[in-house]
Amino acid sequence: MKRRDISFLTMQSIIAILLFVFCSTGTDRAQAADYSFGDGTGKNDACLECHKNQTKVSGLNYIDPKKFGHTTHAKFGCTTCHDTITSTHPGTKSAANTTSCGDCHSEIITQYSTSVHAKNTACSGCHNPHRVNTASEIAATDMNKQCAACHQNIKIVASHAKWLPQTELHLGAIACVSCHSKAENYVITIYIAKRDGADSESKPELIAYEDLQKKVGGDDIQYLIDANRDNYISLDELRNFNRDPDNKSIYLKAIMTPVKPTHSFQTFDNRWDCTFCHASGPKIMQTSFVSFPNQNGTFRKVAVEKGATMDALRAIPNFYLMGSTRNGTLNGIGLLIIVGGMVMPVGHGFLRFLSRKNRNKGEQS
């Protein structure tokens, strides 16, 4: 391309930008005239008047009032973070804050700054502060989707397949942060997933709140499993859920999640060793929860009776962690069978030894 053409293009761009700035400033001025905030009880309402309206704002400036209302951030109010906002907003400043996430979340920032991610993205790269949820409110699959926003699933499967047997199975049964953060304690979280052969194992599709609502006929979906409505799920209730022919189109998908996810994202050396999980012993696998979806897109956990993962057959029939969730009774039965095979050699061999003279005589005769 000739130099003259480049100058011409540059000029065109500058003119376009100037026109855009002129027009948008005009619109902002028009809006600012009837704008006020921080007036009265619902201190976010004034901001949301515009920011909940997708015809007025777009992109990250749009705030879903339901999702924002659920966050802890909403309780502090918009101006806690957007502290430099003035009454002339939006005419004057668009990014109206001098605060940062670290002002409140200093511990997380310290953890995060040591990880390789810190060089690549800031907090907002993964978290939208206007719709952020606590770790227990997110499904493990959504946690993994967060990672998948940058790390393409196909590449993740390929890189893990170089060393990890049953790659897809592992990726579908473990939250990424279980291995790639310094979390130390784990629980088994059970989700209700769609039984659809089309989904790959590494991307299990959880059943939506609306579909479960239809299934329970408008009742609380928790009672789909928690039949006696005591806010606690027993092994019997899990077994009944699995045996119920009405539930053939869905199944319980268990995923290993850290009790407290950390932001120290890196691959720790001990995670390369399979026995980190597979010989973790039965103790770590005793705690489990069923995570039910809420109407607002979050999840809530209901505690499950201890030992659900160890139950031989029916509690979580599709979760088995080799080496760690083996069932004690089955081990006993297996041992009995093997010992049974030794009865013949030992018993018969003993009599054979005692009768050796008899047999010699018999053979000679």
Binding site for another protein (CB under 8 A): 163, 165-166, 168-169, 172, 195, 197, 200-202, 242, 251, 273-275, 278-279, 281, 312-314, 316-320, 322-323, 326-327, 330, 333-335, 337-342, 344-345, 348-349, 351-352, 354-355, 358-363, 365
Q: In terms of CB distance, is 123 or 252 closer to another protein? A: 252
Name the minimum Å distance from CB 60 to another protein.
Answer: 37
Instruction: Kindly report the number of other CB atoms within 10 A of residue 44's CB atom.
Output: 22
Beta carbon of residue 362, minimum distance to another protein (angstroms, whole number): 2
Give the 3-state secondary structure of residue 240. helix
Least Cβ distance, residue 154 to another protein (angstroms): 15
Indicate the pairing of strand 186-194 with strand 288-293.
Answer: parallel
Nearer to another protein, 85 or 173 (CB): 173
CB of 1 or CB of 346, closer to another protein = 346
- Token pair for 108: 């997380």
Q: Are 205 and 196 within 8 A, CB to CB?
A: yes
Q: Measured between alpha carbons, how far is 82 from 85 in angstroms, rounded to an integer?
A: 6
Please name the residues in contact with 168: beta carbons below 8 A apart, sequence gap of 6 or more. 157, 200, 201, 202
The residue among 165 and 218 lying less far from another protein, judged by its C-beta, is: 165
Tell me how far, at minimum, the Cβ of 302 lies from another protein, in Å: 21
Round the CA-based radius of gyration of the chain to a whole number and report it: 30
Q: Min. distance of Cβ 175 from another protein in angstroms?
A: 18
What is the torsional sign of CA 188, 255, 131, 215?
negative
Structure-token pair, residue 38: 């921080």
Nearer to another protein, 125 or 345 (CB): 345
